[in-house]
Amino acid sequence: MSGEKQVGIVLVSHSGPVAKAVAELARGLAAGGATAPVAAAGGTSAGGLGTSAELIAEAARAVDGGAGIALLVDLGSAVLTVKSMLAEGGELPGGARLVDAPFVEGAVAALVTASAGGDLDAVEAAATDAYGYRKA
């Protein structure tokens, strides 16, 4: 757990700006120093609202350090696109996993955990746990 190999995080949203901003937020809240790799894959390749398999694959390759990749998604086509890419095999690096988590809170929890050297199971558990935090 020396931080040599960290889990990568991919944030898939319908909106490019949302994915980017959540990545920024997670980085800002995760730590003072360097964090685990996190990449945004928001919107379509043309910059519209939607989901792009191409951008997702690119982001996954960018954060792949060999310790696994946690993909967090917002809704609708983001969920379905990642699921169908995982079902195909070969479209995402090995060790990529869809993590069932609230998008914003899960991203923060996942990045904190990954930056601390947690493995993919730990990252997934932390992100999913974020569902349990009640606000009212």
Q: Is 121 near other proteins (CB under 8 A)?
A: no
Q: What is the DSSP letter of 51?
A: B
Stretch that binds other proteins, among 18-26, 85-93, 105-113, 128-136 (CB under 8 A): 85-93
* Residue 50, amino acid: G
Q: Is 100 near other proteins (CB under 8 A)?
A: no
Residues 31-50 that bind other proteins (CB under 8 A): 44, 48, 50
Checking 54-57 for CB contacts under 8 A at 24+ apart, the result is 56/10, 56/12, 56/81, 56/82, 56/85, 56/92, 57/85, 57/91, 57/92
Q: Is 87 near other proteins (CB under 8 A)?
A: yes
Write out the two tokens for 36: 């685990």
Q: Is 53 near other proteins (CB under 8 A)?
A: yes
Would you tell me which residues interact with other proteins (CB under 8 A)?
A: 44, 48, 50-54, 76-77, 80-81, 83-85, 87-88
